[in-house]
Amino acid sequence: MSYTEAKAKYAAIGIDTDAAIAKLKAVPVSLHCWQGDDVRGFDTDPNKPLTGGIQTTGNYPGRARTPEELMADLDVVMKLCPGTKKMNLHASYAIFDEDNGGWVDRDKLEPKHFQKWVDFCKERGLGCDFNPTFFSHPKCDPLTLASANEETRRFWIDHGKACIRISQYLAEELGQPCVMNIWTGDGFKDIPADRMGPRVRYKESIDAILSESFDFDLVKPCVESKVFGIGVEAYTVGSAEFALSYAAMNKDKCIPLMDNGHYHPTEVVSDKIPALLAFFPEIALHITRPIRWDSDHVVLLDDETKEICKEIVRCGGLDGRVKMALDYFDASINRISAWVVGFRNVQKALLMALLTPDMAALQDADNWSELMVLQEELKTMPFGEIWEQYCRECGAPADGEWFATVKQYEADVLSNRN
Ligand code: RNT
Ligand code: ZN
């Protein structure tokens, strides 16, 4: 079947495929730099363990070890993915060199430590999101913003404030808003004696970070909740209720962020998207694939990814209300391939959603029989032809055409890293 034939099939159910393609092309999805090096970053010993309840598994050869390697890998990824990309950096990816005075600790980071990333983004026309890094660092005691130790807390508040200034710089330089996500792994392995104290301290610490001046049109601070992490199974300071309440009480300077790996296994973020959009002008998402827990597997084109994208589209989220970012890290397979599969799958799920007719009238008329028939029959529409056309128009390879490039890059470049 050709694109023209597929287009006619969609036209018959009231869908303009050209309009769907045009719409998707303009929507940024953030590409997380941390898939490329197993969340190690450049500011501390790369061989220390990850802390904060997150973990990568596997030791597939070829991870990026330097900014140059990571940027080269990102270029390959972006060439193999259709659609508008935005970079997503963690503070731990600061670049230190002789020109900018060398290494500083996280509380002393400055915009100049991200100038090379700004150059990278500018050359490629990308915006950039940002994340303070409250994990994998000697100053985690193991708590950070919720620590009972004043000095620890001060260090991490100063880190958060430095990150606000860096986010403002990224937004100003790149001419696109910067989503700045606050996530800490603060929590306890076993039953706490005091659940309230850490939460009150966490709240006050975020208040202190957000007291740093910034333009809320340019910098979008978020608070990301979590249910539990490895080694912190009994109690998480930044629970769902905590994070959502914080965002709700601070709507003038903060938005909620939902990571679909951070809820109990039968809860679904797809259902939470319209719930939050009924109250918040803007929300942010981390799109991942949890298996049994927050395992951060590569995003597949599975039912929940499709449902999340359906809700984003149906709720008008593509016009800026929903900030989308990928968040996963698999160290057991080729990392370029991991990045590309996940990014392409989110693009596919968004395109599918844009090719879905509005069926609300059937629901409102209580016509559940016809609604079921229509929803089921949509599953065998010729989506593949529209996807191919989208890739073609974006100058990206079609399915079946890109993995050879990854294999070649592995042979030429990745296999020389050890
Ligand atoms: C961890 C959170 C967090 C991190 C990144 C690296 O459970 O999902 O968003 O994955 O900040
Ligand atoms: Zn996340």
Cα(4) to centroid(ligand 1), Å:
42
Q: Which residues surround ligand 2, an ion (CB under 5 A)?
A: 259, 286, 327
Could you tell me the two tokens for 222? Answer: 């978020």
User: What class is the 3-417 domain?
Assistant: alpha beta
Res 49: pLDDT: 86
Distances in whole angstroms, Cα of residue 411 to Cα of each of 76, 131, 331, 349, 406: 14, 33, 18, 31, 9
**Ligand 1 site, residue 34, Cβ cutoff 6 A:** yes
Q: What is the pLDDT of residues 80-138, one digit of tens each?
A: 999 999 999 999 999 999 999 999 999 999 999 999 999 999 999 999 999 999 999 99
Catalytic annotation, residues: 183, 224, 226, 259, 262, 286, 294, 296, 327
DSSP 8-state secondary structure symbol assigned to residue 380: T
The residue extents of the domains of the chain are 3-417
% of the chain at pLDDT higher than 90: 97
Q: In testing the pocket of ligand 1, which one of 133, 230, 259 has its CB within 8 Å of the most ligand atoms?
A: 259
E strand residue ranges, 319-396: 322-326
Task: Find, among 42, 31, 119, 115, the residue nearest to 76 by Cα.
Answer: 31
Distance CA 359, CA 354 (A): 13
Distances in whole angstroms, Cα of residue 307 to Cα of each of 92, 160, 273: 33, 33, 10
Cα(224) to centroid(ligand 2), Å:
7
pLDDT of 356 over the 90 cut: yes
Three-state DSSP at 255 gives strand
pLDDT band per the 50, 70, 90 thresholds, residue 147: very high
The whole-number average pLDDT for the span 398-407 is 98
pLDDT of 1 over the 90 cut: no
Question: Is the distance from CB of 291 to CB of 297 less than 8 angstroms?
Answer: yes
Atom of ligand 1 nearest to the CA of 39: 6
Tell the burial category of 255 from Cβ atoms under 10 Å away from its Cβ (0-12, 13-18, 19+).
Answer: buried
Residue closest via CA to ligand 1's atom 5 equals 327
Round the average pLDDT of the chain to a whole number and report it.
97
Q: In testing the pocket of ligand 1, which one of 327, 328, 329, 330 has its CB within 8 Å of the most ligand atoms?
A: 327
Res 308: pLDDT: 98
Could you tell me the two tokens for 177? Answer: 């808003």
Count helices and strands (H / E) in the chain.
Answer: 14, 12
The whole-number average pLDDT for the span 413-418 is 94
pLDDT band per the 50, 70, 90 thresholds, residue 318: very high
**Ligand 1 site, residue 410, Cβ cutoff 6 A:** no
The whole-number average pLDDT for the span 223-233 is 96
Atom of ligand 1 nearest to the CA of 229: 7
Q: 234-254 as b/e, with b when 16 or more CB fall inside 10 Å?
A: ebbbbbbebbbbbbeebeeeb
Question: Is the distance from CB of 135 to CB of 143 less than 8 angstroms?
Answer: no
pLDDT band per the 50, 70, 90 thresholds, residue 418: confident
Q: What is the pLDDT of residues 153-189, one digit of tens each?
A: 999 999 999 999 999 999 999 999 999 999 999 999 9
Opening angle at CA 224, ends 223 and 230, nearest 5:
140
What is the pTM (predicted TM-score) of this model? 0.97
